[in-house]
Amino acid sequence: MSRRASDGSAGDADYGTIGTSYSRYRRPDPRLSEMISEALGDARTVLNIGAGAGSYEPTDRQVTAVEPSESMRAQRPAHLSPALDGTAESLPFEDNSFDAAMTTFSVHQWQDTAAGLREMRRVARGPVVILTCDPPRVEDFWLTEYAPEVTVTEARRYPGLDELETGLGGHSRSTLVPIPLDCTDGFNEAYYGRPEALLDPGARLSCSAWSFVSDDATERFMQELSRDLASGAWDARHGALRTLPEYVGSLVLVVSEP
């Protein structure tokens, strides 16, 4: 039986608690949106699974959104259609109902990854597009120096690329996605050259892995990063990131054709 939190969240994080300011910090970046749009090809009808507050939904196509969290559904802007209450593992649609299916930063929340992937492939006539992270690369980020609990947790939660490609079947390809320095979507690596931003509790709360970290670990992170920023130690090790136009980290786009 599906396990769901009080607001309907179906994964391991309760977005009724951590998602209240999500749309403020996790604003879709136009450059990532363009990549997703290109991957969707000429699809006119698109299913967005784990749609959240609507990030990356193309506005020039007919989109059907599915999102289990009531809190996240409530944050969808007025120009987007309301999202249906549902989970990836049990989609209420006939086979081949959509030209394409997509999901962004969602697969690590699914209770049964294989079932969710089968459902995506079942309902999509054309491409399946997944924006996610490559687990082995997650811990390469400088955040590991200050809060290894966060990156270890992230790496453990994300399914591997082989698992995604096998689960989708067909012809799949995975492409690392460069993250722009001024990325508007506040996942952890988006702050690669703006470390001060992660001292903001709201920014951390909008990255679900932080909800699994103890208060002591978070306090240690804040103290040590604040200290190193003040002393110049962070910049001595990582300062070149402040002007690096793009960072290639763990962000990856998986595209599967039938």
Above 90 in pLDDT, residue 33? Answer: yes
Where does the pLDDT of residue 160 fall: very low under 50, low under 70, confident under 90, or very high at 90 and above? very high
Q: What is the pLDDT of residue 180?
A: 98
Q: What is the pLDDT of residue 12?
A: 58
Q: What is the pLDDT of residue 170?
A: 75
pLDDT single digits (tens) 187-216: 999 999 999 999 999 999 889 899 999 999
Q: What is the dihedral of CA 174, 118, 104, 137, to 10 degrees?
A: -40
In this prediction, residues 78-83 reach a mean pLDDT of 91
Tokens of 45: 């009808």
Domains along the chain?
Answer: 15-257 (3.40.50.150)
Q: Tell me which amino acid residue 131 is.
A: L
Above 90 in pLDDT, residue 2? Answer: no
Cβ neighbours of residue 79 under 8 Å, at least 6 residues apart?
A: 59
Q: What is the pLDDT of residue 9?
A: 41
Above 80 in pLDDT, residue 122? Answer: yes
In this prediction, residues 87-96 reach a mean pLDDT of 96
Q: At what angle do helices 161-168 and 113-123 cross, to 10 degrees?
A: 40
Q: What is the pLDDT of residue 16?
A: 52
Q: What is the pLDDT of residue 169?
A: 86
- Percentage with pLDDT > 90 across the chain: 79
Q: What is the pLDDT of residue 7?
A: 45
Q: Tell me which amino acid residue 248 is.
A: V
- Rounded Cα distance between 179 and 185, Å, is 10
pLDDT single digits (tens) 5-20: 444 444 555 555 554 5
In this prediction, residues 232-238 reach a mean pLDDT of 98
Distances from the Cα of 241 to the Cαs of 17, 215, 236, 238, 247, in angstroms?
Answer: 32, 28, 11, 6, 8
Above 90 in pLDDT, residue 55? Answer: no
